[in-house]
Chain A
Amino acid sequence: MKYVIKKVIALIITLLVVSFLAFLAFQIIPGDPTTRILGSEATPEMVAALREQMGLNRPMLLRYLDWLGNFVRGNYGTSFTYKVSVNSLLADKLPVTILLTALSFIITGVVAIPLGILAGSVKSKIIDKIVIIIDQIVMSVPAFFIGMIVCFLFGILFRLFVPGQFVPLETDWRACIAYLVFPAVSIAIPRIAMTVKMLRSSILNQLGQDYVRTARSRGNNRRQYLFKHVIRNAMIPVITFLAISLAEIMTGTIIIEQVFTIPGIGRLLISSIGTRDFPVVQAIVVLIAAWIVIVNFAADIINQVVDPRMRNR
């Protein structure tokens, strides 16, 4: 219980700091939302009037507190550009991004864990070397570049999907997922490589531990001591890593959504930064920060389930 309270306090502090920094950033970067709304021909009087109307002339701290008060009540403000509530904008764009993140994470886990176990338990030195080299190469290619290759290969060459023709979830959820699989794989590939490397070295590390010798002394064959003893221990650091992955996949969607023209949070964020649509950016930044904190919290809980030494702290 104490632990949960501690975590919730950490979450609140993180969100306060992050939202304040985002707020601050908007004061510092050049560009004014009014010019975007009024165009470059606007007279100074018009700009001044609009600034007054939007409340941009009040001191920054006051505006931050205003925003915070609304945010706490679940009111994220109104988009400058779209003239609709940020809540409805997010409700519109969030499902696609969540779906993309979930798909990508599931692909990462489902592919990387068996592959990592395999890579950690093969005894052949040659296979081991090949795995390391492939891993190293794949790991260092950024997701957006893989996305471009995927677009070219599967979109243009093999015509498995049409890049740019995203099918909205409401229209046809199956076609939507079929489209999202490609960006999801693009984000997943480098993540898979990293997870495999991590799990492999974790297994090799565990295989050298004394308790493995004990397990062998009881007549466990290789498969038995791997699956009954080694893998559970080896997964402990990997779980934390996967949680970080889940956070990074979410942020990774921002760029991938550009590559595959998916109307999710990422595209909204980038266009909103361009138009200085401050309420939208602020809400998304806080959302992402909250996501990262929550995911790490979840990793802690799972680690406590897997590792009894982490309990009762």
Chain B
Amino acid sequence: MSELLKITDLLIHFHNAAPERNAVDGISFSIDEGDILGLVGESGSGKTVTAMSLCGLLDVKQADLSGSILFQGKELVNCSEEFLLSLQGDEISVVFQEPMSSMNPVMKIGLQVEEALRVHTKLSKEERKARALQALADAELPNPEEVYNKYPHELSGGMLQRAMIAAAIINRPMLLLADEPTTALDVTIQAQIIKLLKKLNQENNMAILFISHNLHVVRQLCERVAVMQRGKLVEEGDVNEIFRNPQQEYTKNLIAAIPTREKRLS
């Protein structure tokens, strides 16, 4: 399989942080097409900041970014605004942690789901709607037509997250950045969403960077995992291998930190 994303010595420093404290401190990893990589680490370790830099959502006025991010062989660090806009929602999509606050409260779900099409294609209204209904169905939402016309506050968190996923996959992206997409949901819904992501990954050959602070959730979805601590990658490799034989004290603690109820489920 060919390499989709290659990150080398990525370094991110926020202007308002202490000079020696880098939010992301020289990390390197790569993701192949259709691959799923788990990224775990405690709160504040730099997972979100890493993901945001991959899709151009890091505010360049607030932070210095150096190193290299190659997406399909093209450099994203210091690239043009237009190039980033052309990738966002087309080749690279994002699913965020809080589905409720991540949706525009005054816009119908359907219009939000088809938004990437509105931005990136010349499809007519009807064509967009048909694709949105299909995406909602792909995200396993019952009654897509009904959901299409609802507003965010009328759906449950799990349903909303499915709609967010539908919006993210509608344009068949090569890479999905999923930043703790299940953390705000309860455990049974979590498992369903993980299954859905797995299905979408296999059916569409869509690579996923799956971020979580929960190694057990990562284990359900990913084969490969990278462990982050204070901006650095401290361990990377096969999930089961790492579970069996964690090299770092930090990783051991991450494994141990999971409530037993979730351990049993996984």
Secondary structure type dominating chain A contacts: helix
**Chain B residues closer than 8 Å to A309, beta-carbon distance:** 105-106, 151, 153
**Chain B residues closer than 8 Å to A236, beta-carbon distance:** 106
**Chain A residues closer than 8 Å to B85, beta-carbon distance:** 219, 221
In Å, the complex CA distance between A221 and B103 comes to 17
Interface residues of B in 147-185 (CB under 8 A from A): 151, 153-154, 164, 167
Asked if B138 lies at the interface with its beta carbon under 8 angstroms from chain A, I say no
CB distance from B224 to the nearest CB of A (A): 24
**Given A218-B115, A219-B90, A211 and B101 touching (CB < 8 A)?**
yes
Residues 78-118 of chain B, each 1 if its beta carbon lies under 8 Å from chain A, else 0: 00010001111110011010100111111100001001100
Tell me whether B88 and A219 are in contact (CB under 8 A). yes
A-B contact count (CB 8 A): 72
Interface centre among A209, A211, A214, A308 (most CB of B within 10 A): A214
Tell me whether A308 and B105 are in contact (CB under 8 A). yes
Tell me whether A219 and B120 are in contact (CB under 8 A). yes
Tell me whether A219 and B119 are in contact (CB under 8 A). yes
Asked if B209 lies at the interface with its beta carbon under 8 angstroms from chain A, I say no
In Å, the complex CA distance between A221 and B56 comes to 12
Asked if B57 lies at the interface with its beta carbon under 8 angstroms from chain A, I say yes
**Chain B residues closer than 8 Å to A210, beta-carbon distance:** 96, 98, 101-102
**Given A210-B96, A224-B119, A308-B151, A218 and B88 touching (CB < 8 A)?**
yes
**Chain B residues closer than 8 Å to A213, beta-carbon distance:** 57, 96, 102
**Given A209-B101, A309-B105, A215 and B151 touching (CB < 8 A)?**
no
In Å, the complex CA distance between A210 and B103 comes to 8
Chain B residue at minimal CB-CB distance from A232: B106
**Which of A218, A221, A308 meets B116, CB within 8 Å?**
A218
In Å, the complex CA distance between A306 and B104 comes to 12
Tell me whether B98 and A215 are in contact (CB under 8 A). no
Interface residues of A in 154-173 (CB under 8 A from B): none
**Chain B residues closer than 8 Å to A217, beta-carbon distance:** 55, 57, 88-89, 93-94
Tell me whether B106 and A306 are in contact (CB under 8 A). yes
Asked if A81 lies at the interface with its beta carbon under 8 angstroms from chain B, I say no
Chain A residue at minimal CB-CB distance from B103: A211
Chain B residue at minimal CB-CB distance from A224: B119
Chain A residue at minimal CB-CB distance from B100: A210
Tell me whether B104 and A233 are in contact (CB under 8 A). yes
In Å, the complex CA distance between A9 and B86 comes to 55
Nearest 7 A/B pairs, CB to CB: A218-B89, A219-B89, A219-B88, A210-B101, A308-B151, A217-B94, A211-B104
20 contacts between A and B (CB under 8 A): A209-B101, A210-B102, A211-B102, A211-B104, A213-B96, A213-B102, A214-B104, A214-B164, A216-B57, A217-B94, A218-B89, A218-B115, A218-B116, A218-B167, A220-B119, A221-B81, A229-B104, A232-B106, A306-B106, A309-B106
Question: Which B residues are within 8 Å of any A CB, using their own CB?
Answer: 55, 57, 81, 85-90, 93-94, 96, 98, 101-107, 112, 115-116, 119-120, 151, 153-154, 164, 167
A210-B96, A217-B88, A219-B119 known, 12 other contacts, Cβ within 8 Å: A211-B105, A213-B57, A217-B93, A218-B88, A218-B93, A218-B116, A218-B167, A219-B88, A219-B116, A224-B119, A236-B106, A308-B105
